[in-house]
Amino acid sequence: MKLGIVYHMPFWREADGTLREVEGSFARYVDSLAPYFDEISLCVPVVSAPAGAEGTAIRSPNVTLAPLPPFDGPVHFYPRLPRVLPRLLRWAREVDLLHCRVPSPAAVFAFAIARLYRRPAFVLVVGDLRALLPSMPYRGMKKALWRAYTGFEERNVQWMADHALTFANGAALARKHTRPGRPVIETTTTTIHAGDVASRPDTCRALPVRMLTVSRIDPRKGLRVLPGALRQLVDAGIDVRLDIVGPAVGGPGREEEAAIVEEAARLGVGDRLGIVGAVALDRLLPMYGQYDLFVLPTLPGEGIPRVLLEAMSGGLPIVTTRVAGIPSLVTHEVNGLLLDRPGAAEVAGAVARIVRDDRLRQGLIAGGYETARKLTLEAQAARMMEIVSSRLQVALRHPVAVPAA
């Protein structure tokens, strides 16, 4: 059984043949599915090794590449479509089962071709473009074009969901794409293995309190409130420092990063804010254990940020927003604190509660561990593959053993 996966995360090949992905979460996802198939063929953009990038290696020997031309979002993808379509036509003919992670520009074309060849398919919805619209920094014609593209891509995703077995990252996305007679199955995308779950029972026992945010830097992530939260915490007598780990995405991301740094300097907390940049996933996961708590004031537009589970597995109490699929992972005051509004005062107030309330903090850490142990890569893959095998009547390489919840 040959599984074909189409997505937009770029890969490159090392001189020794190792495949690497910059971000890492998709590479780990692919590895989790590899035991169930004879071969997994990735139809993804292939780039030259980025200068200084570590990336995350694909460890499974049965993963191959079906290269697409590099592209950075839809504005670069569609001019390359005449080159992409012939490759998709050849590739889709060679796979036995198609898997699309969406939204992703090439997915709808691969899906349509797979239907033409009568190949079974399943879809995983991981983001919500429509919910992102209010936070996009575009104006004028750019805004109109992005709105038009969002509508086009939203129709594509729904068409795929209407015609294929579909999973969605979190309850909100599952509800959005469910139609009468076509239920979408809720799942939780993750990057953690069972062995990644830590055991420390408490944090915040020494000064300064070390806060961590792991996120791409762009206007959709709500990070601009963090300098104000730092200022309010310091004014409340809490000695705190914050590191932001993650790349600035495109021009809007670089502008957002500059604005965050400028605001921190203006508020007199520039020395308490660190911009770390991108860190490869294999090196990032142990870093969580060096911090005391995790903050992600994200805006609507994603399913469930995988970094929340990473933080839970690292023993960090988390503060995040009640948006998108997050409430289907985070239960307020059980395994995290949820904010109705991601403002500086709200973030600072939640952080202060965690720092000052030992019982709350320790309970959140314990609740996070319990959640993380239930939602490992192994558990997610087994449950998905059990459903794929039974619903699509495909024979997998190994029988599926679903871990107990």
Give me the pLDDT at residue 244, please: 98
Give me the pLDDT at residue 405, please: 47
Cα–Cα distance for residue pair 152/332, rounded to 1 Å: 35
Stretch (H or E) spanning 241: strand 240-245
Give me the pLDDT at residue 400, please: 57
Specify the length of the chain in residues.
Answer: 405
Give me the pLDDT at residue 54, please: 82
Closest CA to 211 of 276, 139, 127, 152: 276
Residue 59 near residue 87 (C-beta atoms within 8 A): no
- pTM of the full predicted structure? 0.89
Give me the pLDDT at residue 399, please: 57
pLDDT along the chain (405 residues), means of 10: 96 92 91 96 93 86 95 89 96 97 96 97 93 78 88 96 96 94 94 93 97 93 96 98 92 92 98 94 94 95 88 98 92 98 96 98 98 94 95 82 51
Phi, psi of 81 (to 5 degrees): -55, -40
Cα–Cα distance for residue pair 136/145, rounded to 1 Å: 12
Tell me whether the omega of the peptide bond preceding residue 10 falls within 30 degrees of 0, making it cis.
Answer: no
Give me the pLDDT at residue 357, please: 98
| Structural domains of the chain, ranges and CATH numbers in brackets | 2-190+376-392 (3.40.50.2000), 195-374 (3.40.50.2000)
